[in-house]
Structure 1
Amino acid sequence: MEAKGRLCAEPGCDQPGEFRAPPLEGARGVGDGPAPYRWLCLDHVREFNAGYNFFKGMSTEEIHDAQRPFAGWERETRAFNASGGADRPPRWADFSDPLDAIQARFRDRMPVERKDGRPLSGADREALRTLELEVDADRMALRRRYSELVRKFHPDRNGGDRSYETALAKVIAAYQQLKGSPAFA
């Protein structure tokens, strides 16, 4: 191994520091982080390893508990079943599956949301709720509802009342979301 210019961290040693060892007890790191590793030569790392004792400072009971063959296995783990375990279908809102490579595996368990079978993301559902539209709305219904709500909330239609600006901004954002969605393409 190359030492890359490092010398052994042991005082008085001029050999290259090729082997990484934990820092000395009480060593401080930079900021809140851990202390940096020490680099030792082969002789000093062998000496360190020979003197290292994992169980140093432990009572007999603590040593016994650490040496049990199944230590840690008594913790409860999650169930591995389709209803609440590891094999749940992924959230389709998180990615696009144009080749139907993943969705085909879960098709029998997926509820059909739209009659045309196009997927809706979580943001699409929220936008549909904002516009008060059904899940099966088409592009014409989307455009019609957007026009109605813009006319309803626009300050020019409300005598200059600016209290509807937040609602108008939500309607515009929802329309922009749905306009670019694959469900309304």
Structure 2
Amino acid sequence: MAREKISKDRPNARFHGRVEANGRPCEVPGCAEAGEFRAPPVEGAPQGGERPNAYRWFCLEHIRAFNAGYNYFAGMTAEEITDAQRPYAGWDRETRAFARAGVDPGPAWADFADPLDAIGAKFRDARVNRAERRDGRSLSPADRSALKVMGLDIDVDRTGLRQRYSELVRRYHPDRNGGDRQHEAALQKVIAAYQQLKGAVAFA
């Protein structure tokens, strides 16, 4: 019976915004209920410097009355009300850019020491992996990996690709190394990378 009385007399946690009063009364004169729901301070009320605004506290009945009487458009002109009611209101405001040219700016290197270049190297690798070609042609992850194998920049053209391929084949081919086959694995990687890039969209 006592539990039923409490549930009827006091709102429970299902009411959004309820805060345990701990003896705080409702601020409506003559109301003996607990002040468990907060409302903004009276407009123009002095505030305590850097301290947060002092809320007003009401019981459930009086916070409902407060909310029912709240008018967001109070004090606005007809033009301001129309502007606020547009379906896309707020979307035309400029927002902070989170990246530049698709790549986030790097950290401020002057703020800390990186003697092993561990952070710097990781950032540069990420930047290369996300950078785009100046001509707008797309590169797949496999294309980017192949460019690394051949030691080429992402903006290299088809002529530069062929020239680099010829250079690396001459460098690693056993016939150019007195029959020494120690560079054969590197040569196979170069050949595979060239085949990948030769058929890529960026070099079509």
Higher radius of gyration, 1 or 2: 2
The TM-score range, normalised by the shorter chain, is 0.3 to 0.5
Give the TM-score, by structure 1 length.
0.47
